[in-house]
Amino acid sequence: MPSNPLQRRRAQSLGAALLAWYQEEARDLPWRHSRDPYAIWVSEVMLQQTRVETVRGRWERFLARFPDLPALAAAPLSEVLAEWAGLGYYRRARQLHAAARAVVEKEGGRLPRTFAALRLLPGFGAYTAGAVASIAYGEAVPAVDGNVERVLSRLLGLEEDPRRGEGARTLREAAFQLAAQGPPGEINQGLM
């Protein structure tokens, strides 16, 4: 919990307000209708540094071509990259493919169910692992990217740098506290 009393009160009251806002105002996006961890993972990777409107149709097309994790793992990388064309940042597609192969080889084709286990896979940084673990599995972990850092910093009145020292610690504690206040996937999507 943040040590600053004002930040602590803000973090405690923010959860309910954020959840109510999200349930009322959330955009209707196709990946929000899925509880399939694979589909959620693909959407989160596609959405990194790419506009939602660009991803909307591409996500469905990608899943039609690679409907599950074993199908993605079995595909040649060249086919995955061809399907990724136009989304940019091809490293994401390479890591998605590498992680799919690792999951098939080591996990029997099923994504791990925890943040900690997801972090061990190629391309699963803290944000992606937090998003998949919270949205697909309901684990009370945050999904903090640069946008969420900026939003939380403003809402908490954080004066310190949110990426270093005390500012990073305060932001991380508030994000964990928020994720624990409601369905963590909805809380995280509300912040996103």
Tell me the catalytic residues. 44
Distance CA 143, CA 175 (A): 8
Q: What are phi and psi of 61, to 5 degrees?
A: -65, -40
Distance CA 123, CA 46 (A): 12
Distance CA 184, CA 181 (A): 7
Contact 36/44 with Cβ under 8 angstroms? no
Token couple for 48: 């990194």
